[in-house]
């Protein structure tokens, strides 16, 4: 039996944080070998907010290092850069022509980012259709997302319906694989952890950077378990322990917080210790990966992805009518 096709990716828009790890990287590592997996660095999506070419280039290299460092084997996945496959933007334009402005105005991510002060550029507005193109171009069957990203897949399915109704059966409807167990990882201010909100704990930060971020986590006035700190720590502790032991059990974790309700410094130091246990081995692995290693991985992945994308777009162009 052939494996179902899966696609996921991250924007090359900045340093990754532990929310990215728990929301996307870790779940991907745990499932990608079960599928015909595609891992895309969404560098064109990043252009909606990144204006410095040097930063974008470095971010692209960094995100590949990050994936490999957390456990992705480049031999077992097609890892490629979005901009290396020109069919992404070509199909994105075609899909833009099939949906309405009111439809795109309903996108939660767009409204949320604009409300937070991000520039309402046209790329951010049409972002969902480029994302749909990313998915549909490879006849993707499974897209792992968090619950808060479900709408992205709904938009992709709407794009399938629009295109198939206009030009005949061409694309299959992708299904979301909702990542369970983690939920939304809170940032140091209690909102969803996001680079846009500048409330992150860096995934591969130095011990000093991690300490600075953790010590900035919001807490209450004393006498109560600090909810944001507790929620972040619970997620990290679960990843560190995997299978709880007698000396590091759910009860021990509960006791840590009930016994230190007002000792926020002790609780934050315990979180720093657990974060270090989690990321130190990955940080070491990441340091061993060179920029040239990354370029080689992306070149090999692009060749495989391009072959699949070109075949799909040949069919799309014929049906749309641009092939004469």
Q: How far apart are CA 219 and CA 189, in angstroms?
A: 9
pLDDT band at 210 (very low <50, low <70, confident <90, very high): very high
- The DSSP annotation for 223-267 comes to SS--HHHHHHHHHHHHHHHSS-BTTB-HHHHHHHHHTTSS-HHHH
Identify the active-site residue in 26, 65, 162, 192: 192
276-308: pLDDT as tens digits: 999 999 999 999 999 999 999 999 999 999 999
In whole numbers, what is the pLDDT of the chain averaged over residues? Answer: 91
First to last CA, the chain: 38
Nearest residue to 88 (alpha-carbon basis) of 313, 315, 319, 322: 313
Helix (H), strand (E) counts: the chain: 14, 5
Inform me whether the pLDDT recorded for 171 exceeds 90: yes
Nearest residue to 110 (alpha-carbon basis) of 90, 96, 93, 127: 127
**Could you confirm whether 3 is annotated as catalytic?**
no
**Could you confirm whether 113 is annotated as catalytic?**
yes
Identify the active-site residue in 195, 261, 285, 312: 195
Inform me whether the pLDDT recorded for 18 exceeds 60: yes
pLDDT band at 243 (very low <50, low <70, confident <90, very high): low
49-71: pLDDT as tens digits: 889 999 999 999 999 999 999 99
The full set of domains in the chain, from first to last, is: 5-183+291-320 (3.40.50.620), 204-286 (no CATH)
Pairing relation of β-strands 36-42 and 175-178? unpaired
Predicted TM-score (pTM) of this structure: 0.84
Identify the active-site residue in 65, 113, 162, 268: 113
**Could you confirm whether 312 is annotated as catalytic?**
no
């Amino acid at each position: 039996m052939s494996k179902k096709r899966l696609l996921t990716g991250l924007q090359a828009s900045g340093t990754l944080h532990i929310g990215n790890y728990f929301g996307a990287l870790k779940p991907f590592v745990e499932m990608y070998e079960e599928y015909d997996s595609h891992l895309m660095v969404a560098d064109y999506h990043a252009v909606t907010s990144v204006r410095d070419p040097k930063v974008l280039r470095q971010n692209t290299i960094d995100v590949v290092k990050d994936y490999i460092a957390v456990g992705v084997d480049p031999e077992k996945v097609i890892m490629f850069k979005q901009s290396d496959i020109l069919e992404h933007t070509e199909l994105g334009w075609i899909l833009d022509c099939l949906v309405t402005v009111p439809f795109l105005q309903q996108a939660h991510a767009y409204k949320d980012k604009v409300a937070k002060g991000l520039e309402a550029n046209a790329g951010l507005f049409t972002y969902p259709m480029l994302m749909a193109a990313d998915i549909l171009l490879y006849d993707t069957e499974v897209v792992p997302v968090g619950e808060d990203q479900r709408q992205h897949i709904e938009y992709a399915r709407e794009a399938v319906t629009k295109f198939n109704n206009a030009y005949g059966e061409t694309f299959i409807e992708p299904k979301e694989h909702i990542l369970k167990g983690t939920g939304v990882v809170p940032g140091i201010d209690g909102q969803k952890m996001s680079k846009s909100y500048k409330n992150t704990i860096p995934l591969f930060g130095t011990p000093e950077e991690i300490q600075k971020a953790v010590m900035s986590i919001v807490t209450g006035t004393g006498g109560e378990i600090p909810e944001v700190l507790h929620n972040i720590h619970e997620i990290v502790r679960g990843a560190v322990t995997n299978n709880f032991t007698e000396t590091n059990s759910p009860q021990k974790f509960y006791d840590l917080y009930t016994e230190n309700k007002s000792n926020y410094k002790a609780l934050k130091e315990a979180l720093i210790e657990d974060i270090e246990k989690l990321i130190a081995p990955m940080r070491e692995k990441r340091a061993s990966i060179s920029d040239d290693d990354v370029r080689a991985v992306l070149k090999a992945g692009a060749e495989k992805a391009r072959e699949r994308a070109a075949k799909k777009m040949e069919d799309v162009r014929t049906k749309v009518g641009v092939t004469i």
